[in-house]
Amino acid sequence: MGVGDKMKRVSILGSTGSIGKQALEVIRLHKLSVTALAAHSNIKLLEEQTREFNPKLICIYNDDLYKELKIRLSDVNIRILTGMEGLCEIARFSDTDILLNSVVGMVGLLPTLTAVEAGNTVALANKETLVAGGKLVMELAKKRNVNILPVDSEHSAIFQALQGNDNNEINKVILTASGGPFFNMTKNQLQNVTLEQALNHPNWSMGKKVTIDSSTLMNKGLEFIEAKWLFDLSPNQIEVVVHRQSVVHSAVEYKDYSVIAQMGVPDMKIPIQYALLYPKRTKCPTEKLSLTDYGTLTFEKPDYETFECLRASIKAIELGGAYPCIINAVNEVAVESFIKKKISFLQIGELITDALNHFSFNEINTYDDVIKFDTGAREYAESLI
């Protein structure tokens, strides 16, 4: 028997990615039950996970691989789904206690909305859900009385620092940033940055997209926008602080100027486990934090001039409406082009700033609005590349 009175049932979208694999480590340790798994295209690992965790449903997003997966698992009695339909069927499946959404990209938004609509608790690790659809998701969650539990280390830290306190007693939140591999470098020095250098993150081991986003500080920009929606803040209540050691994962300053921070070694398994077992705390498959091993913790202001992506993200959420959705879409296209070596490192930020100036203000009221502005922004970015 696992933690709690009855075995918690977990579904995972993105089970073969970095967060998904670490979540399964936590699930293995605490003997939680797995209801459903979904992967983008890694059928070999999805097959292994299926045989180990015995879910009721699985989904392979890439439908070219559907037949092969069926053949591989022909000896197993299981329903196999594919595409967005499959992700959404898992999202609305009632035989589960929590849905971990850890897919990468805009593809994560519709499954989140579907889960919330169906009344399923969501452990959210998909940034785009709140960046592009924050207003829709949070309004629906309120209406349906559904919990959205943050998985990202910073938002988990804020969420943990909020336990036992009231959201309306927040003065501001302090969102910490590692600064990435290019901290303290000038624009001039960043001109010839290679893909390999951008993929070399000092503290965290993550997927490719989020590692590049960390090197441009776009990741912090997206987290800034997510924090606004998750904790119902105004942009001027969020302060970004560069903290090179990634030990303080973020903090909340209250009205009495008391600041409560959450600390730990930089290991995603801690926030993943907190979301999956919430509100329980028990042993986690990670290292202990030794403050004396670190000795010194440092805190600095970010360089908004050099890291254009961060500046543009904050501007986008200040302007509101479709702007966060637009910059997110442009960033996805730009990062993909940088990975394919079609554009330079600095061009990622330039494209985002350009898009911010190019598009006029529009509201987002429906999922179709999100798709419309997302598509328009992608087309615009592609036309510039």
**Which residues make up the interface to Mg ion (CB under 5 A)?**
152-154
CA distance 199 to 210: 9
CB of 273 to Mg ion, least distance (A): 16
**Which residue, 18 or 153, is less far from Mg ion as judged by CB?**
153
Longest CA pairwise span in the chain (Å) = 62
* Nearest C-alpha neighbor of 281 from the set 30, 33, 102: 30
Q: Kindly report the length of the chain.
A: 385
Q: Can you tell me the distance from the alpha carbon of 57 to that of 67, in angstroms, rounded to the nearest whole number?
A: 16
State the Cα–Cα distance between residues 85 and 82, nearest whole angstrom.
Answer: 7
Q: What is the DSSP letter of 192?
A: T
Separation of alpha carbons 346 and 344, rounded Å: 6
Residue 275 vs 322, nearer CB to Mg ion: 275
* CB nearer to Mg ion: pick between 96 and 215: 215
Residue number of the CB atom closest to Mg ion: 152
Closer to Mg ion by Cβ: residue 30 or 220: 220
CB of 268 to Mg ion, least distance (A): 9
Which whole-number Å values give the CA distances from 280 to 3, 5, 111, 216, 234, in the listed order?
Answer: 8, 11, 26, 35, 30
Nearer to Mg ion, 153 or 337 (CB): 153
Decide whether 154 or 369 has the Cβ nearer to Mg ion.
154
CB of 127 to Mg ion, least distance (A): 9
Helix boundaries (H) for 54-108:
66-72, 83-92
Q: Which is nearer to Mg ion, 112 or 219 (CB)?
A: 219
Q: Are 82 and 60 in contact (CB under 8 A)?
A: yes
Q: Are 314 and 175 in contact (CB under 8 A)?
A: no
Please, what is the minimum distance in Å from the beta carbon of residue 248 to Mg ion?
Answer: 13
Residue 224 phi, psi dihedral angles, 5° rounding = -60, -45
Q: Are 135 and 317 in contact (CB under 8 A)?
A: no
Smallest gap from Cβ 126 to Mg ion, in A, equals 12
CB of 327 to Mg ion, least distance (A): 17
* CB 250, min distance to Mg ion, A: 9
CB within 8 Å of 265: residues ≥ 6 apart = 247, 286, 287, 288, 289
- Nearest distance in Å: CB 210, Mg ion: 8
Amino acid code (one letter) for 94 = S
Q: In terms of CB distance, is 154 or 308 closer to Mg ion?
A: 154
Query: Do residues 93 and 35 lie in contact, with contact meaning Cβ atoms separated by under 8 Å?
Result: yes
